[in-house]
Amino acid sequence: MNSLQIKLTISRGSFRMPVALDLSGNGISVLFGASGTGKTSLLRAIAGLDRHADAQVCINGSTWQDQHIFVPVHQRKLGYVFQEDNLFQHLSCEGNLRFAARRAHTPPEFFARVIEQLNLSALLSRMPVHLSGGEKQKMAIARALLQKPELLLLDEPFSAVDEEFKHGFLPRFKALLCELNIPALYITHSSAEMSQMADALVYFQHGHGPVVAPTNELLTDLHQGLAQRSDAESLLEARVSGHDREFGLNILECDGSTLFVGGEFLQINQQVRVRILAQDVSLALNPPSMSSILNILPVSVLELAELSGHQTTIRLQVGRQTLLARITRKSATVLQLAKGTQLYAQIKSVAVLH
């Protein structure tokens, strides 16, 4: 089984953080957390840009560093995409991509697939100076992929790109990584980006080593900092079961419950991820009637935690999945909430992540 095994201690002045990660060698692991907690330092260590005496880095059975081995940066089969595009300014976009493909002896069909899936054909003849910020990052990602890496490292590649661009590009990019079976470590400070991209989450906090878990498990863990944030959220997996064409809604099946979500019609049986903010979930003891809220799910209380003097966060069971709600402490008292209480979650807003 492919895996990424990383063990080291990041030291920077008075900052010290032990890291011990054993990640799947498939999919996207998102590194998420506050600035200054060691995310970029970890990527640089994996790439071999920073050398740590105690580091152990093993990628899919190949040792890149241990107490006896140190593979130089240029010999590590990885692609690295920074916040800056780092394109060769004297080459056209196609020239940049051909350069990477020649070095890696990339087959023509692989080259063509990357161009097609990332929708780059119209950019190939242009010089980097004439590209927008988003277009430059697309080219930088394509160049990294054309090196046929065993691992892709991405350090906030879309931090300066607008949300509309990300909405159109990120699903294509994630689908291509899955198709090419290239694992990625992806740093972002955007919770929306994290929710869309993460197959697994690596959560960094000041004073602690990173915590690794499936994304929604970590998001809804009341003992971790993510569930305590003001923008705490849940991710539910669902399937498109139909369309309400009269009202322009997708009908999603989610562990025996139904969700109605607006937007462009999705393909029947398509598996989707839906993002729900804890603050957009209200609770009722009885099934609400004659309400403007369409999405009402039967739930049961798993756990409660007081966030502050006036708020309570509740972890709820939805079929086999978990959902967060944030309500006032007074509401929790009035409803007499406790572990096992049967309720109805009224969801004001649902975002589909393609």
More confident residue, 275 or 161: 275
Task: Based on the fold, state whether residues 213 and 290 are members of the same structural domain.
Answer: no
Return the pLDDT at 319: 94
Distances (CA, A) of 159 to 47, 83, 133, 185, 241: 21, 7, 10, 16, 35
Tell me which of 228, 247, 262 is where a domain ends.
228
Average pLDDT over residues 69-77: 93
Same domain flag for 118 and 216: yes
Same domain, 147 and 208: yes
| 209, 98: one domain | yes
Euclidean distance between CA atoms 168 and 196, whole angstroms: 12
- At 201 the pLDDT is 95
User: For the ranges 83-87, 95-99, 213-217, which has the lowest average pLDDT?
Assistant: 83-87
240 DSSP β-pair partners: 252
Q: Which two tokens stand for residue 258?
A: 């139904």
* CATH number of the domain encompassing residue 143: 3.40.50.300
Interval 60-66 mean pLDDT: 92
Q: How confident is the model over 47-60, as a mean pLDDT?
A: 91
- CATH code for the domain in which residue 238 is found: 2.40.50.100
Identify whether residues 185 and 254 lie together within a single domain: no
Residue 347: per-residue pLDDT: 97
**pTM for the complete prediction?**
0.91
Owning domain of residue 340? 233-353
> How many Cα neighbours within 13 Å face the side chain of 320?
5
For the segment 113-125, the average pLDDT, to the nearest whole number, is: 94
Q: Could you give the CA distance from residue 72 to residue 65 in angstroms, rounded to a whole number?
A: 9
The 10s digit of each residue's pLDDT in 321-345 is 999 999 999 999 999 999 999 999 9
Q: Are residues 223 and 295 in the same domain?
A: no
pLDDT tops 80 at residue 2: no
Confidence of residue 1 (pLDDT cuts 50, 70, 90): low
- Kindly report, residue by residue over 16-33, the tens digit of the pLDDT: 888 999 998 889 999 999
Q: What is the pLDDT of residue 25?
A: 81
Residue range 142-171: mean pLDDT, rounded: 91
pLDDT higher than threshold 80 for residue 197:
yes
| pLDDT (average), residues 32-40 | 91
The per-residue DSSP string of 263-332 comes to SSPPPTT-EEEEEEEGGGEEEESS---S-S--EEEEEEEEEEEE-SSSEEEEEEEETTEEEEEEEEHHHH
Is the CB of residue 143 less than 8 Å from the CB of residue 97?
yes
Question: How many domains is the chain partitioned into structurally?
Answer: 2
Query: Could you tell me if 55 and 185 lie in one domain?
Result: yes
Domain shared by 174 and 273, yes or no: no
Confidence tier at 308 by pLDDT (50, 70, 90): confident
| pLDDT band (50, 70, 90) for residue 307 | confident
Note the pLDDT of residue 159: 85
Q: What percent of the chain has pLDDT over 90?
A: 80
Q: What is the per-residue pLDDT for 301?
A: 98
Calculate mean pLDDT across residues 122-134: 94
pLDDT at 192 over 70: yes
Tokens representing 102?
């020649």
Query: Which of the listed residues 203, 228, 253 is the one where a domain comes to its end?
Result: 228
Domain end among 183, 199, 228: 228
Residue-wise pLDDT for 203-256, tens only, equals 998 878 899 999 999 999 999 889 999 999 999 999 999 999 999 999 999 999
Would you say residue 153 has pLDDT above 80? yes
- When pLDDT is cut at 50, 70 and 90, the band that residue 162 belongs to is confident
Q: What is the mean pLDDT of the chain?
A: 93
- Same domain for 149 and 189, yes or no, is yes
Same-domain status, 208 and 272:
no
What is the distance of C-alpha 235 from the center of its chain? 11
Q: How far apart are CA 160 and CA 264, in angstroms?
A: 27
Question: Both 156 and 298 in a single domain?
Answer: no
Same-domain check for residues 139 and 167: yes
